[in-house]
Amino acid sequence: MGTGFRIESDALGEVPVPADAYWGVHTARALENFRVSGVPVGAHPPLVRALVQVKHAAALANGEIGVLEPHKARAIAAACRAVAEGRHHDQFRVDVIQGGAGTSTNMNANEVIANLALEHLGHERGRYEHLDPLDDVNRCQSTNDTYPTALRIAISAALTELAAELTLLSAEFRAKGQEFADVVKVGRTQLQDAVPMTLGREFAAFGVTLAEDVQRIGETLPLLAETSLGATAIGTGIAAEPGYAEAAVRHLRALTGLDLTPAADLVEATSDTGVFLLVSGVLKRTAVKLSKVCSDLRLLASGPHAGLAEINLPALQAGSSVMPGKVNPVIPEMVNQIAFATAGADVAITMAADNGQLQLNAFEPLIGHLLLQHIGWLAHGCAALRTRCVAGITANREHLARTGAGTAGTVGAVTALAPRIGHETAADVAREAARTGADIADIVARRGLLDRTTALRLMAADVTAAG
């Protein structure tokens, strides 16, 4: 094959591998077999970091119990640290969509770590007689316990970042709530005028609803901290040496900073994907609530001349190739689409979880990819919404004052008078105001129900209390 390749072999025969590749024969076969999405495992940095943390912990544990030579354990640890620091992620080449329950991802990791460790020991890549991807890097392990453990760690890290972005976005909405605290408007139910409120109260509520999902994310993190490391193939621990599981979990806890705990039943843990369903559900909830907020922003900013036009969104780019001057709410629209995709992914994750037969779920690669992809999309969407949209929103005070939508004399404000003049009378006042355009306070005073000053005071107090 020339100097640009080296020959590696497995039980199926020989395969040429690029000489400069850190991956080997098993990865090469996966690259041929799984040409699907075009998205490599390396596109998910949290998963790559988690994989090498698991391998690092395994090497330390194997060295500790005496089944891996100290120099090999040190070399593997050095290789894992290099990848965890962000190097060589381009070598994690296998497609995220793959058969084999993640075996190809695990083998890709084993080979990259082995070849990095070989170089650390002064050997050429592929000289596995000195340090082997399976016998040494994968010692006491199976894909079926290392891959799910890595997924849990990766998802925990990604969720922590999403929670941080949601927290910042919630705070931005609350800050806008304070800025708009004096802006009176009409609240709406079923797209019809309801009762007066303030724009500040509306934006503060956006902040509160997103903060609730930060809490929901936090509730899932302890469940992700359960690990099946040491379970090997189906949970019986076959091929794992005595003392390995305890040592591996202890070292992994130290490497990740997570409060990892061994699963109570390793057979159950090997086949169970319930925590991934829970995470997917929380993501869908967060996505739908974000989408609702973005749809509200688009509606409140609609117009600007023939819509509600109560707020102004930052103008970021031209909105049309044919209509000069048109500007669209592109950031909320982007977040809407992220939410739609996240809700769709929840269906695929549900089907994948449902179809894991007997002692193993073969479809965790799809589950892991979709969760990591959409956690990342949501985090990026939150950051863009905060910095490119919400931070620059202004209230259209002049428009609200001009249209009367910001006054306490609107039809909806008569609700504040109902306890004093009765529901049916208040309804009749509202109908007259809607029919004639007369001021509610004037109608109430003319009918002798309340003096005008008292009516205005009651309606204004209702707005203040609500806002």
What pLDDT was estimated at residue 406? 47
Q: Are 229 and 248 in contact (CB under 8 A)?
A: yes
What pLDDT was estimated at residue 414? 79
Tell me if residue 321 falls in helix, strand or coil.
Answer: coil
CA distances to 94, 103, 104, 359, 366 from 98, rounded to whole Å, are: 8, 9, 7, 19, 8
Question: Which is it for the CA torsion 218, 220, 223, 228, positive or negative?
Answer: negative
Q: Which residues are annotated as catalytic? A: 320
For residue range 368-405, list pLDDT tens digits in order: 999 999 999 999 999 999 999 999 999 999 888 777 55
What pLDDT was estimated at residue 404? 58
Q: Are 58 and 145 in contact (CB under 8 A)?
A: no
What pLDDT was estimated at residue 463? 61
Residue 320: phi and psi, rounded to 5, are -155, 150
Q: Are 409 and 441 in contact (CB under 8 A)?
A: yes
Q: Are 455 and 417 in contact (CB under 8 A)?
A: yes
Quote the distance between the C-alpha of residue 229 and its chain's center.
Answer: 25
pLDDT less than 50: residues of the chain: 1-2, 406, 466-467
What pLDDT was estimated at residue 420? 87
Look at the pTM and tell me if it is higher than 0.85.
Answer: yes
What pLDDT was estimated at residue 259? 95
Q: What is the DSSP letter of 395?
A: E
DSSP-assigned beta bridge partners for residue 227: 262
What pLDDT was estimated at residue 350? 96
Helix (H) or strand (E) holding 67: none
Q: Are 247 and 195 in contact (CB under 8 A)?
A: no
